[in-house]
Amino acid sequence: MIKEIQLLHDTIWSSPLLLAMFVLSVGYLLYRYLHHEEGDNIRRVLIYVALTIVLVCMNPVLAYLAMRFTGDEYVFVRFMWVLPAFALIAYAAMKFALSFNGKARTVVIAGICLLAFLSGELWPDVYKKADNLYKLDSDMIAACDIVREDAATSENANVYGHVSVCLQLPNNNIYLDGSDANIFYFGVRQYAPEFELSYAVVNEDNYDDPEFSYEGYLTNSSQYAICLDKKALDREYQRIGYERIGCAGPYAVYKNHFRFTLFVVRHAQTNGNVAGRVVGAPDSNWGVVTEEGEAKAIELGKALQSANIARSYSSPAERAILTAELVLQGGDQDVTNQTNEALSDIHWGDAEGMNWDEIAAQYGDVSVQAIFGSMEAQEYTGPIPGTDNLFDYMSYITSGVNGVVTDSAVAGLEDRQVLLVTHSAFHWWLERNLPGEAVPPGLDNTSLTILQYDCGQWEAVTINNTDYDTIPDIISGLQ
């Protein structure tokens, strides 16, 4: 509790002089009251101050409880705000000064003001000259305005009027007050609320490195990118499908020009699907594709025969790999499938292979959301041990899809078509990236979802389509 009292003193009183002025002021007013020189209000104020100090501000028990239950030591210290300390000091000073006349009063007032002046700092070291009334870096504002103007003319906004912008930062300390990353990221966030922000981290050492490559640093995932105007960054942004549309001071602004079509297929029917059992990332007997599933995959491949698939990606799960191969084989596509760990299914942890009755018996009547949480719940832990939370799943699946897009852009697959075989959980990615679209709460086996990537923005042509007869017409209608 001594620690709490120490904290209280250190954080509230800027100097012992201020504390002394306060104590003297209270003492002086008490003296005046006892000599009938003050009215009832000062009596009540002095009692209020005494009670506030004893019962609240310097109460170690309350300090302990407040810090324990709020987890924030400053919550308790803020109770000090109910104490009118400055007003009492100023009032006592006024009364003291009024007891003098003429020049003596002026000297006393000047002396008190000097004491007040000496009790802290006149110009705290927390300010800097503002560039403008927005109180933000003018170059950063200009860079944002370049994006705004272009987005307005090209009508690039999504259904919410938002455009996606990727900021290049020197590190990922966006929550560290005063860091370059914090100032830039949240500066843009404060100025341009219609930007959906993401960020890419490129270390300063790489800015002028002729060997610097986008891999592991930059992805083609947003409509616009704002980065420092550096040679290496300029080269790599252009390499992954962006074009430079302007610059403002130290910043360069890029616009995504890459377009392609993504065929998203959920893996074929498995034993687990037939038995109603949940199957996630790890391969097991429940993940073995059934004969019906294989036939459906080949049928889908035939429906996609008119497509010109340039590449194929799948999760490393055997059911996904097999499905991809069967689809490519059915459509006579001369393409080799590539696997990517980031495209894996969500983990069901200890519930892998269970059916819903078994899950309910062991973990209670839990919903899918209760098991995996929400996309934004970073620290969520569900009732089933070993499961991914949805935040983590979204992180890796997003990285996987961004990798597919970036690889395709670098490979020059402009206006080409790419196959992606994934899992039912991919519907969450669809929900997030297709605002306004009706996405089912899970994809059907060997269903086809056709997405067009239009310069950083996803548009759905068809979602969860299992009517293969319609697919050739849809493909012929693709731009």
Decide if 445 contacts 266 (C-beta within 8 A). yes
State in angstroms the smallest separation of the CB of 382 from other proteins: 13
State in angstroms the smallest separation of the CB of 330 from other proteins: 35
Q: Which is nearer to other proteins, 54 or 478 (CB)?
A: 54
Inter-axis angle of helices 390-410 and 426-433, nearest 10:
70
Helix (H, G, I), strand (E, B) or coil at 267: coil
How far apart CA 248 and CA 253 sit, in angstroms, is: 8
Find where tokens 């904290």 sit. Answer: 7
Q: Considering only 12-20, 218-226, 336-344, 407-415, which stretch makes contact with other proteins by CB under 8 A? A: 12-20
Residues 200-259 that bind other proteins (CB under 8 A): none
State in angstroms the smallest separation of the CB of 193 from other proteins: 3
Report the Cα–Cα distance between both ends of the chain, in Å, rounded. 71
Query: Which of 102, 103, 129, 476 touches other proteins (CB under 8 A)?
Result: 129
∠ at Cα 440 (435, 443), nearest 5°? 115
Query: Which of 103, 122, 153, 210 touches other proteins (CB under 8 A)?
Result: 122
Neighbours of 193 (CB within 10 A): 10
Query: Which of 65, 86, 107, 235 touches other proteins (CB under 8 A)?
Result: 86
Q: Which is nearer to other proteins, 123 or 364 (CB)?
A: 123
Listed residue (327, 348, 343, 371) closest to 272, CA to CA = 348
Q: Which is nearer to other proteins, 3 or 44 (CB)?
A: 44
Query: Which of 136, 146, 225, 328 touches other proteins (CB under 8 A)?
Result: 136
Query: Which of 6, 20, 69, 74 touches other proteins (CB under 8 A)?
Result: 74
Decide if 449 contacts 289 (C-beta within 8 A). no
Does 441 contact other proteins by CB under 8 A? no
Does 180 contact other proteins by CB under 8 A? no
The letter for the amino acid at 445 is: N
Query: Which of 3, 78, 231, 235 touches other proteins (CB under 8 A)?
Result: 78
Helix (H, G, I), strand (E, B) or coil at 454: strand
Inter-axis angle of helices 180-191 and 138-154, nearest 10:
40
- Tokens encoding 407: 């690889």
Per-residue binder mask for other proteins (CB under 8 A), 248-267, x = binder = --------------------
Determine the size of the site formed for other proteins (CB under 8 A): 88
CA distances from 476 to 303, 305, 307, 330, 433 (A): 11, 11, 8, 18, 24
- Partnered with residue 452 across adjacent β-strands are 261, 459
Does 31 contact other proteins by CB under 8 A? no
Q: Which is nearer to other proteins, 218 or 304 (CB)?
A: 218
CA distances from 4 to 1, 52, 67, 264 (A): 5, 16, 9, 58
Query: Which of 11, 203, 308, 362 touches other proteins (CB under 8 A)?
Result: 11
Does 398 contact other proteins by CB under 8 A? no
Does 32 contact other proteins by CB under 8 A? no
How far apart CA 193 and CA 171 sit, in angstroms, is: 22
Query: Which of 172, 190, 362, 470 touches other proteins (CB under 8 A)?
Result: 190
- Tokens encoding 99: 């007891």
Query: Which of 23, 31, 34, 48 touches other proteins (CB under 8 A)?
Result: 48
Q: Considering only 47-55, 251-259, 334-342, 445-453, which stretch makes contact with other proteins by CB under 8 A? A: 47-55
Query: Which of 6, 14, 308, 336 touches other proteins (CB under 8 A)?
Result: 14
Helix (H, G, I), strand (E, B) or coil at 249: coil
Q: How many residues does the chain have?
A: 479
State in angstroms the smallest separation of the CB of 295 from other proteins: 36
Per-residue binder mask for other proteins (CB under 8 A), 361-380, x = binder = --------x----xxxx---
Decide if 261 contacts 417 (C-beta within 8 A). yes
Q: Which is nearer to other proteins, 14 or 362 (CB)?
A: 14
How far apart CA 281 and CA 387 sit, in angstroms, is: 10
Does 36 contact other proteins by CB under 8 A? no
Per-residue binder mask for other proteins (CB under 8 A), 419-438, x = binder = ------------xx--x---
How far apart CA 210 and CA 193 sit, in angstroms, is: 35
Residues 54-73 that bind other proteins (CB under 8 A): 55-56
Q: Which is nearer to other proteins, 168 or 417 (CB)?
A: 168
Q: Considering only 84-92, 236-244, 322-330, 341-349, which stretch makes contact with other proteins by CB under 8 A? A: 84-92
Does 90 contact other proteins by CB under 8 A? yes
Decide if 371 contacts 380 (C-beta within 8 A). no
How far apart CA 89 and CA 25 sit, in angstroms, is: 5
Q: Considering only 155-163, 265-273, 285-293, 344-352, which stretch makes contact with other proteins by CB under 8 A? A: 155-163
Listed residue (151, 131, 170, 164) closest to 249, CA to CA = 131
Query: Which of 5, 28, 32, 43 touches other proteins (CB under 8 A)?
Result: 43
